[in-house]
Structure 1
Amino acid sequence: MGLKLVINMLLILMVLSSTSAGRSRELLAGAAFDVTTAKYGAKPNSDITQALANAWKDACASTSASRVIIPKGTYKLKEASFKGPCKAPIEVQVQGTLQAPPDGAQLSKPDTWIEFSYLDRFTLSGSGTFDGQGQKAWKENDCHKNPKCSSITVNMRFHSVKNSLVRDVTSLNSKNFHVNVLSCERLTFQHFTVAAPGDSVNTDGIHIGRSTGVNITDSKIGTGDDCISIGDGTKQLTITKVTCGPGHGISIGSLGRYPKEEPVSGIHIRNCTLSNTSNGVRIKTWPNSPAASTASDIHFEDIIMNNVGNPILIDQEYCPWNQCNKQASSKIKISNVSFKNIRGTSSTPVAVKIACAKGLPCDKVEMTDINLKYSGKQGSITSQCSNVRPTITRVANTLACATKS
């Protein structure tokens, strides 16, 4: 009897153990929400808008870490809103290609295709592609010269996202900006790719505004506007190991166009390569600013320029298409700016131009180890500076602000 009792107890323990393991497997499997399962019903070459919304709703409600999975394949997506807060860390893993409506069909937010908002401990990952199919929109886009133009769709918006990571995915052919980052904290882009033709209009790669602690690293951006544009209120931004081109370069600004803009500070851009861009690293502010503000603690270091127009540029008279009064000074005070170890080739004779505001000269501008050669045939390489007295160290005379304008 004793032996039988022991055997029965062992059998019960084995069953309980098997059941427990099965439940653990169910919980582990339950942490993954694949949009192509029967529950959600997504299929390649069809619209998965509702399936993705349902999968996100379930994952966001999970009390344990979860993943929304979009497998390999091509899927139509009218729009998507990944909105929190969620109950636990959450990841969206995109392995396939998501295609936006090519004609910009009616959206709940006309300027947004995909939005990530009010999230903490969020990850966007995978080898997939967000294809904005912007070719038609580029032909119709006049926002670069028409302030009253209609809203045009941004591929991805990140709003109030904290402690989060975007890695390995690609933004392709957005109709407007590829990525807009607003009111975010400690958000990292790693191994991120932006791809659009050099003539695509207003397709900034990543635009950052009113955010703190954003980090962009080991990424490749080629587009028709700024590879990275930095708007007002940006603080403690780090950009490293980014390759830029085609595009308009890496820009702080434009600043000073609108009232109630917030200061920019703590910008560190290092170990980047720009190739065949219309500008290099620049700070641009509008003249006749409606309100005063500042841009300070800005540092560009270890930058390679390959056939780049205007490699080093501070422009406080930025006024595209004559939309402003250049006679009135910019009210954006620029200070504590450094350009260090910047080398390569310039496609324009004026390789260094620092044009500061007449009524508000730049302070504490430093240039060290600048080694640029002119690749064209329109004269010799030179520099132009106004309303600034930079500190110069190991810079050739032709690049040392010898020419005053």
Structure 2
Amino acid sequence: MGAYFGVSTIFVFCLLGFSANAELFTIGAPSGSDITQALLKAFTSACQSPTASRVVIPKGEFKLGEIELRGPCKAPIEITMKGTVKADGNTNHGKEKWVVFGNINGFKLNGGGVFDGEGNAAWRVNNCHKTFECKKLPISIRFDFLVNAEVRDISSIDAKNFHMNVLGAKNMTMDNIKITAPEDSPNTDGIHLGRSDGVKILNSVISTGDDCISVGDGMKNLHVEKVVCGPGHGISVGSLGRYGHEQDVTGIKVINCTLQETDNGLRIKTWPSAACSTTASDIHFEDIILKNVNNPILIDQEYCPWNQCNKKKASTIKLANISFKKIRGTSGNKDAVKLLCSRGYPCQSVEIGDINIKYSGADGPATFQCSNVSPKLLGTQSPKACSAPVTKA
């Protein structure tokens, strides 16, 4: 039996910010069926509603093909996803998307549902982390050009590529997001963001094979709080400078987070042979707990994975007004703090305050390295900071 959707014209959910006469569109389908066309039809009808509307995906497990749910819509729209939707388990080489929500003012996604990207088969043939020349794999969920958006209580598992990608958002909150993939799954960034302004990521757990959160160019005013990351590659600003015409990054704040068993911790990374000259500024990490994290604090302006660049050229990305404060816990290697700034454009206004990172390996003790930077030191530092005047907090 095929999927269908039904409409109820009177459904009260004023507490969610919708009107009393909001329209309700419910997907009706037996578990295991493909709901791609039914969901597209329901969304299209809801998008044309002159009043706020809601599309409901019920409990159960459903197949979902490549789909774009785009506005602009006539009124706010909410998608309540209670079940699990599963992607095609094939590699899907050459496709760049699975599910897209785009161009909507007043968008909500919630309900406790799961997006299963079925990535296992694709990971085995994915070499995009090693070479520029590769066939792309689809991002599981893309949020494109959303305004006044809320994404809550949603899970993503086993994405073929990035789990979630945020582009062009304005005033967006992501709360209680759960992201899961094996630690050896390539390019499975949890949440990647770029060219957006005013995004919050709150109360979330991200365990994946690449960066838990990665910040691309053009990102402004990102607030990350109460996020648990690990396994994965940590929380990263960048990489920046790989492509031309990149935009400045500013206003990044990561507070009260935990990183556990990650390959990197708090990281800013730029390419040495950058294709552009931009600035990343006002980046602040504070009140972070580390649990056996490799490279807990890292500014890396010599980022060059798989030798895809010219290390003889200094990075042209300018870093300024950066702080790491109240960072505590354990390191998985002796490199507790590495501030490796560009020799062409040394880092400006870097503050290190109240750092207590322990390492118990045989090749210890923990180290604190600096190049092309003179950090301002506040409070205490363990390991002992690189040479600079000490300022009491």
- Please say if 1:272 is aligned against 2:264: no
Q: Which aligned pairs between 1:173-188 and structure 2 lie closer than 5 A?
A: 173-188=158-173
* 1:1-400 mapped onto 2 (5 Å cutoff): 31-36=23-28, 42-105=29-92, 110-396=95-381, 398-400=383-385
| Alignment check: 8 A CA contact 1:351 1:399 kept | no
Deviation per CA, 1:30-55: give whole Å up to 9, x if none. 7111110xxxxx32101111111111
Query: Does the aligned pair in 1 maintain the 2:46–2:54 contact within 8 Å?
Result: yes
Q: Residue 4 of structure 1 aligns with which residue?
A: none
Structure with more helix by fraction: 1
CA contact (8 A) 1:226 1:247 kept: yes
Tell me if the contact between 1:383 and 1:402 (Cα under 8 Å) persists in the aligned partners. Answer: no
- The superposition leaves residues 100-120 of structure 1 with CA deviations (integer Å, 9 ceiling, x where unpaired) of 0000458xx811000011011
* In 2, Cα distance between equivalents of 1:163 and 1:104: 34
- Larger fraction in strand: 2
CA pair 23-118 structure 1, distance change in 2 beyond 3 A: closer
Quote how far apart the aligned CAs of 1:398 are: 3.2
Kept after mapping to 1: 8 A contact 2:353/2:381: no
Verify the 8 A CA contact 2:57 2:81 in the aligned structure 1.
yes
Please identify the structure whose Cα radius of gyration is greater. 1
- Return the offset for 1:379: 1.9
Cα 1:302–1:260 shift into 2, 3 Å: same
Task: Name the SS for the 2:148 alignment partner.
Answer: strand
1:77/1:343 Cα in 2 relative to 1: closer, same or farther (>3 Å)? same
Distance 1:322 1:333 in 2: 22
SS in 2 for 1:121: strand
Moved over 4 A (4+): 22-30
Cα distance in 1 for residues equivalent to 2:296 and 2:382: 16
TM-score, scaled to structure 1: 0.90
Q: Return the offset for 1:393.
A: 1.8
- Quick one: structure 1 residues 43 and 287, their matched pair in 2 at CA, closer, same or farther if it must change by over 3 Å? same
Change (3 A) 1:69 1:149: same
- Contact 1:133/1:173 (CA < 8 Å) preserved in 2? yes
Q: Percent sequence identity over matched residues?
A: 53
Alpha-carbon distance in 2 for matches of 1:148, 1:120 = 36
Residues 192-250 of structure 1: CA distance to partner in whole angstroms, max 9, x if unpaired? 11111111110000000111101100111000000000000000010000000000000
- What secondary structure, in the 3-state scheme, does the structure 1 residue paired with 2:51 have? coil
Structure 1 vs Structure 2 CA RMSD: 1.8
Q: Which runs of 5+ in 2 are unaligned?
A: 1-7, 13-18, 389-393
CA contact under 8 A between 2:96 and 2:137: conserved in structure 1?
yes
Confirm or deny: 8 A CA contact 1:384 1:402 kept in the other structure: no
TM-score (norm 2): 0.92
Question: In 1, are the aligned partners of 2:22 and 2:52 still within 8 Å (CA)?
Answer: no
* 2:131–2:306 Cα contact (<8 Å) kept: no
Contact 1:352 1:399 in 2 (8 A): no
Give the superposition deviation at 1:376. Answer: 2.5
Relative to 1, partners in 2 of residues 1:25 and 1:372: Cα closer, same or farther, differing over 3 Å? closer
Report the CA distance between 1:351 and its aligned residue. 0.1
Deviation at residue 382 of structure 1 after TM alignment: 0.9
